[in-house]
Structure 1
Amino acid sequence: MSTDKLQLDYLPGHLEILLEQGDYNAIEKLLRAFRTEDVAEALMDLRLEQIRQILEHIPTELAGDLVECIDYDYWRDLLSALPQQRLLDILHYLPSDDAADVLEELDEDTREALLEATSSHEAFQSVTALLQYPEETAGAIMNPDIVLVPQDMEIDAALNMIRSNVESFKDINYIYITDARPGQADGCTAAACPDLSATQHPDRRRHDQRRDCRQPVYGTG
């Protein structure tokens, strides 16, 4: 058995001790030492109330990542009892399609209360729209968040624009490039979103890896 696997086996016990001590800084540090998927699996050895305590006190982005990795069968019992504001913070962090999935699994009273609380929030409009589609349809599982850039934008300018809004674009897989001009019909192509850590030549234009939008484009954005 590897050292990492051995340490992971002891993770639930360590978390229980830290919960008793109320040391949430140590809990955060411990959780970040392992893969999120492995942590989510290890959390299942704790009581639901203990998992809720952890989700309530760790940073929102870490809580959101864990929620995405926790089996959705647990979402109703686990998340419905979280304080409303905390649950709203987590939903706001999640991509629109994942947030809609979570809302679908919550008990009806919690879901309706959240939808009422977010009815005037522009950020949640795409989530609400996804809930209007029948379950398991393409519309219900799509990610409506996209990045649209003009055809003549240099690649460095496009990447800098995305980097400056990295939290908003963190789940984008495709960039849509439009060649529409005033008085002309809209048209666009799609390019796979590059590694944002990579540097590109400043004179390079966005003509690589394009796909006509008339063809199916698969991805989360």
Structure 2
Amino acid sequence: MNKSKRHEIFSRWQAANPAPTTELNFDNPFQLLIAVMLSAQATDKSVNIATARFFPTHGTPQGILALGLDGLTDHIKTIGLFKTKARNVIETCRILIEQHDGQVPETREALEALPGVGRKTANVVLNTAFGHPTIAVDTHIFRVANRTGIAPGKTVLDVEKRLERVIPKEFLVDSHHWILLHGRYICVARKPKCPQCGIADLCEYKQKTNPY
């Protein structure tokens, strides 16, 4: 895919959604971090339902530690892998208090040192909480990047690095959300909604459901 085509794709996404953001509910970087940790192999909707039970009264590292492992587990038991996630969240809260004055660190290294926080989670927090031009490649972004031809790659890291290299700089900070939302609602896995797609004439997918 050439530069002009990529630029037009992101221009259209920007025009349609000038201020994209995550669909997870949060009030500060800490709550975002916890929500993203809980969202692995779970829907944003299920995470929002769970966090609504404890964020209003225990939405700080100190508050979650006060809940304790059993209390937190009870609040998030509707989410997949809830036992492991509860342990990781409790330990993360302890580390944030002991090593970071209760604040979420703004570096990849410090974020990835937290239990249950990998590269993807760190990228989401750096991007959404702090405005860094990072791209968290999940299954949606991996699919869209490959299917459309925007940034083909064999691995998640390949796609991430290529996206960072080829996306026009003026779109980089918001690109994560545009691609993710496109994959979640339009360029879905089984049968992409090509007739509803605003970039179908630019996409290089050869098996469009409504070919141009």
TM-score by structure 2 length? 0.28
TM-score normalised over the length of structure 1:
0.27
User: Which of 1 and 2 has greater Rg?
Assistant: 1
Instruction: Report the structure, 1 or 2, having the larger strand content.
Output: 1
